[in-house]
């Protein structure tokens, strides 16, 4: 009788144990609700796109790097959310990526990583959502030439000479001195070799320093009539879409680089391969690569090769004179002055 009772008791205990391990347990604690047949999606009460915190900058045609956006949310429910990838509207070419994660039980923050290359400047817009709550934020995409110093695309003149260019502030400059032998409509610019030809030119004229082709790396020297021809008969020595730098163009450039006292050093090519020693403060941090091409006087003499660089501006001072800018081997400054239009100086072109 005791064996029978013991067997019955053991069977009941085993059955009771089995039943206890297979029956779901009801619990009011959401965190232990692991056996519910209906999963609960991630949700929040609100996402604050109006106060989006953007870290980093975006620039036209420049691949995004280390750009993130942080959005605050309220009343998260502590649930997991999946990876999100959102394409931009407005400015195209960008993606906002939210890695999968878990919401806070309460308020928290979402972090989106921006990647891609924006195709234009303007505003890149992104619409994000968690559950049924969504909002949109925007990121400004800057034009690269507004804030950067950056090498630009090469350009070609009417002779086929290829020039480097550089973005500096709001401008795009040639990064080499002009060498053109023609106006951009194909009209030749006479080469004045001997002194009398230069002195009596009275019309557009050009030459190389000392009339030596080996000095072509410094560019050509032009009298101001080459520039004035643009006003007289619409002849432009610069490539189409470019113009001879005006005094205001130089002023903008110098101001962007910190003023006359320091801009010269930033403009000059570094080292002494083309400049006389000591080439004070020559760093070329602007990528402008100013070279000391010297000048030709109104009498036809040559001076200052490797010592100074002179550039005409398209700005007249008075009837016989025009303004120019210059830098020297023994100073980090850039200065301006004016002189006879029969002088021969270098030319730099600026994008229209």
One domain, residues 120 and 162? no
Q: Is residue 38 part of a domain?
A: no
Instruction: Find the mean pLDDT for residues 293-313.
Output: 97
One domain, residues 346 and 207? yes
One domain, residues 93 and 50? yes
Instruction: Find the mean pLDDT for residues 196-215.
Output: 92
Helix crossing, 247-256 with 260-267: angle to 10°?
Answer: 90
| pLDDT over threshold 90, residue 193 | yes
**Cross-sheet strand order for the sheet of 84-87:** 46-55, 67-77, 105-116, 94-98, 84-87
Q: Is residue 308 part of a domain?
A: yes
Q: Is residue 21 part of a domain?
A: no
One domain, residues 320 and 232? yes
Q: How many domains does the chain have?
A: 2
CATH of the domain at 54: 2.60.40
One domain, residues 187 and 215? yes
One domain, residues 275 and 347? yes
Higher-pLDDT residue of 158, 202: 158
pLDDT score at 33: 38
One domain, residues 210 and 225? yes
| pLDDT over threshold 70, residue 275 | yes
**% of the chain beyond a pLDDT of 70:** 87
pLDDT score at 215: 97
Instruction: Find the mean pLDDT for residues 184-198.
Output: 94
Q: Is residue 70 part of a domain?
A: yes
Whether 351 contacts 284, CB under 8 Å: no
**Cross-sheet strand order for the sheet of 302-305:** 302-305, 293-296, 308-316, 321-328, 334-340
Q: How confident is the model at residue 121 (pLDDT cuts 50, 70, 90)?
A: confident
pLDDT score at 62: 80
pLDDT score at 147: 53
Q: Is residue 281 part of a domain?
A: yes
Instruction: Find the mean pLDDT for residues 225-253.
Output: 91
* Structural domain ending residue among the three candidates 142, 171, 197: 142
pLDDT score at 144: 52
* Structural domain ending residue among the three candidates 82, 117, 142: 142
| pLDDT over threshold 80, residue 32 | no
One domain, residues 293 and 346? yes
Q: Lowest mean pLDDT: which of 52-66, 89-103, 113-127, 305-319? A: 52-66
* Structural domain ending residue among the three candidates 142, 168, 198: 142
pTM: 0.60
One domain, residues 237 and 138? no
One domain, residues 156 and 244? yes
Instruction: Find the mean pLDDT for residues 119-135.
Output: 92
| pLDDT over threshold 70, residue 11 | no
Q: Is residue 341 part of a domain?
A: yes
**Residue 1 neighbours by CB distance under 10 Å:** 5
- Show the tokens assigned to 317: 């001072």
One domain, residues 52 and 119? yes
Q: Is residue 39 part of a domain?
A: no
Q: Which domain holds residue 64?
A: 46-142
One domain, residues 273 and 180? yes
């Amino acid at each position: 009788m005791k064996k029978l009772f013991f067997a019955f008791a053991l069977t009941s205990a085993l059955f009771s144990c089995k039943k206890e391990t297979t029956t779901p347990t009801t619990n009011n604690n959401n965190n232990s609700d692991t056996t519910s047949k209906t999963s609960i999606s991630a949700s929040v009460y609100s996402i604050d796109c109006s106060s989006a915190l953007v870290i980093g900058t975006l620039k036209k045609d420049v691949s995004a790097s280390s750009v993130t956006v942080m959005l605050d949310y309220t009343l998260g429910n502590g649930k997991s959310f999946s990876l999100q990838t959102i394409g931009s509207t407005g400015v195209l070419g960008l993606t906002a990526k939210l890695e999968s994660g878990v919401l806070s039980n309460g308020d928290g923050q979402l972090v989106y990583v921006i990647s891609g290359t924006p195709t234009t400047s303007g505003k890149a817009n992104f619409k994000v959502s968690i559950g049924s709550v969504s909002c949109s934020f925007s990121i400004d995409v800057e034009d690269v030439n507004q804030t950067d110093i950056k090498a630009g695309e090469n350009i070609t003149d009417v002779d086929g000479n290829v020039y480097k260019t550089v973005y500096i502030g709001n401008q795009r400059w040639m990064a080499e001195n002009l060498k053109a032998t023609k106006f951009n409509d194909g009209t030749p610019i006479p080469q004045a070799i001997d002194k009398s030809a230069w002195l009596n030119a009275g019309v557009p004229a050009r030459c190389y320093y000392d009339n030596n082709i080996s000095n072509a790396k410094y560019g050509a020297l032009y009298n101001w009539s080459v520039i004035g021809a643009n006003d007289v008969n619409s002849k432009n020595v610069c490539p189409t879409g470019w113009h001879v730098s005006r005094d205001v163009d130089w002023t903008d450039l110098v101001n962007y680089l910190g003023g006359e006292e320091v801009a010269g050093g930033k403009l000059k090519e570094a080292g002494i391969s083309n400049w006389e020693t000591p080439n004070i403060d020559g760093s070329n941090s602007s990528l402008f690569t100013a070279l000391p091409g010297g000048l030709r006087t109104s009498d036809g003499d040559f001076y200052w090769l490797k010592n100074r660089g002179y550039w005409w501006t398209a700005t007249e001072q008075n009837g016989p004179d025009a303004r120019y800018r210059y830098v020297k081997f023994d100073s980090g400054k850039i200065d301006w002055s004016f002189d006879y239009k029969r002088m021969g100086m270098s030319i730099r072109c600026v994008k229209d």
